Amino acid sequence: MFPQRVYKLYHSCWGWRIFICAWKKMPDLRRGVRQAKKANNNNNNNNNNNNTNNDNNAPVVAPTPRRGTRRGKAQAAPAGQVAPAYPYPMPRPAGRGRGARQAEDKNPELFGGGVGVGRGAHLNLDVGVCNNNNPLVVGKSAEKLAADAEDEGSTSPLPERVQVGNSPAYKLERKLGKGGFGQVYVGRRVSGGSGNSGPDALEVALKLEHRNGKGCSYGPPYEWQVYSTLNGCYGVPMVHHKGRQGDYYILVMDKLGPSLWDVWNSSNQILSEEMVACIAVEALSILEQLHLRGFVHGDVKPENFLLGQPGTPNEKKLYLVDLGLASKWRDTSSGNHVDYDQKPDVFRGTVRYASVHAHLGRTGSRRDDLESLAYTLIFLLRGKLPWQGFIGENKGFLVCRKKMATSPEILCYLCPSPFKLFLETVTNMKFDEEPNYLKLIGLFENCLVSTASLRPIRIDGALKVGQKRGRLLIDLEDDNQPRKKIRLGTPATQWISIYTSRTPMKQRYYYNVMDSRLHQHVEKGKNDGLNISCVASASNLWAIVMDAGTGFTSQVYELSPVFLHKEWIMEQWEKNYYITSLAGATNGSALVVMSKGTTYTQQSYKVSDVFPFKWINKKWKEGFSVTSMTTAGSRWGIVMSRDATYSNQVVELDFLYPSEGIHRRWENGCHSGNSPHFCLSQYPCQGEMVQEFVHSIHLLWKNCILNSPTNKLLSGGGWR
């Protein structure tokens, strides 16, 4: 038994690009013809969910066929307070305009200015649990703290005094900000203390998270682990004490100054070129040290960069806070880069500043922090990003598409050239590529015109590693060949062809076929013993692949002006035909091919205005696999079947040809001879800005074909 690889490709520029990758076993090949072994039709586990729904967007299910039965119905902070002595004016109370952060099982709100921790003397991170009955605030203060607790979805009153582990006792005072996982207050030391930072400071920031909160389902917040690992990392806050008191997990941190958002909002919503360049240099230094520790931040944005307290020596020093979405890019035990994966239903970060890869649900890596930093810098310099203003449930998709459609030249039109070069560099990085931090910092050399004492932001990180004023500029030319630019802001033209080594068989294809000539070509192929193996459409013209190796015993098809004509499909299901190929046209019509002789025992399809990944994921769990999919205009049509002989499937989702993701899947499956292979099974796209994919290819692959010298993978196939 040889494994079988099935390729189907569909495309249109700036619409979604979807790959379904699967591992499949090939039935015996005899005389070049696939002899499909029909599975016994005794799998009736789901016959009670087999009726169709009249709603076009509801899934349509074909049950395991049984004579004499009928199919049933388908189942279908406010701104933080800043000391008056600070050189920047106070933030305005309105017009914050912050983007909401979304995450898997998380929806934290944004922290206000003045929230965070600073770098103090290194102390042991003592973890304590305090269950003593601390006195609660009485009168108006008690009411206010109770109200704050209710705002966080908790009825537990906040403690008047905080003391965890070996920490001093602090009195809870004014609120600095809140997030989806907790809230931050000023804690004033009850007795003793001196200075503005460190464990002995008179005032600290206390971050409280309720034990029943989103981030505490399994004990102390995940952020605690990250802070413990990164303790002392340059530019990352250091925690002095942490522990549980009553119903709250508490971090004791240094109180910092305003965020870059507050500074921007207080400076007429625009910052100078030199200040943003200083932010770029220092932020890159901080991220480099964070990445060296094996973490990516996952939520880089103006709100998470804080300055030191006003009136202190650190008032121009930059800090990176809020590590709740941090993740590891490097495996702790092996030291290797984490494996590539994509989960389209998972988003981590803030929509406005998130990388395109984060929107698409890809595993976070160092390139994502840098892309978010690029958007942050451009926002601070220009005051706005082109994708602001989208609303509704489809906001993430619209923002992601706009990011992909906006070239660096357009996005950085009013920015100095270093910002465009920075954006181009980071958006063209590969998943596991190590950033050249020195080169990226050097891009901003000519923007730093003031002497060190006059710069609005300190760049200690760059100076610390020897990148002194006269030596920031480095050779920006690489020895490698110039890279192909990924985000051009315009639709691409590309052809893809795949050649496979296999037993010879008869095969032919037709392209640019009009509706009126479709029947003629299909009948001619049938007379020669060929069946349709794949169809596609572009510009309302059809492409058809027919061959003698399908193993189908009978075949019917319908060209209908209705996208996936339900009545006709249901009629063919009653005759034990199953959908084996389909394509949609720009005008909304569809070509559906149904065959006998497949391995399928049950089938369901869904029509949707958005890619229905949640439905696909649900059907995967029920033992179905994606066997066909297509688009027509802005609508998706997905077909899933039981007993498709795939052992696993994954989705690759992109606005461009996702070659990197495909190769990652191949590499992950080709490490050893016994490892399963992922291979392309489906590739449809949703056409919105341009015409749909011109061609479609359905071919069979043998095991380890990439390692076989007799096989070729060439470019060809195409779209406009």
Active site residues: 299
Q: Which two tokens stand for residue 212?
A: 């029943």
Q: Give the tokens for residue 323.
A: 């590590």
Name the strand (E) or helix (H) holding 617: helix 613-621
Q: What is the largest CA-CA distance in the chain?
A: 96
205 closest CA partner among 104, 86, 115: 115
Interatomic CA distance for residues 18 and 16, integer angstroms: 6
- Cβ neighbours of residue 547 under 8 Å, at least 6 residues apart? 505, 506, 507, 508, 530, 531, 533
DSSP 585: -
DSSP state, residue 499: B
Distance CA 366, CA 586 (A): 39
- Cβ neighbors of 389 (< 8 A, separation 6 or more) are none
H/E element holding 396? helix 395-405
Residue 588: other Cβ atoms inside 10 A = 15
What is the helix (H) or strand (E) element at residue 375, kind and residue range?
A: helix 366-382
Place of tokens 């195409």: 718
Contact 564, 636 (CB under 8 A): no
Which conformational region is residue 596 in: left (phi greater than 0), alpha (psi within -120 to 50 degrees), or beta? beta
- In angstroms, the CA 514 to CA 585 distance is 11
Long-range contacts of 396-404 (CB under 8 A, 24+ apart): 396/102, 396/347, 396/351, 396/359, 397/359, 397/610, 399/351, 399/352, 399/359, 400/356, 400/359, 400/360, 400/655, 401/14, 401/655, 403/356, 403/359, 404/14, 404/356, 404/487, 404/655, 404/656
Of 667, 675, 236, residue with least CA distance to 432: 667
H or E element at residue 127? strand 126-130
How does 401-438 read in b/e, with b if 16+ C-beta sit within 10 Å? Answer: bbbbbbbbeebbeebbebbbbbbbbbbebebbeebebe
* Residue found by looking up tokens 């406010």 in the block: 78
> 554 pairs with which residues across the strands?
596
List CB contacts of 436: < 8 A, sequence separation 6 or more.
Answer: none
Of 241, 237, 242, 243, nearest in space to 255 by CA:
237
User: What DSSP string describes 325-367?
Assistant: T-EESB-TTT-PBPPP-B-TT---EETTT--HHHHTTBPP-HH
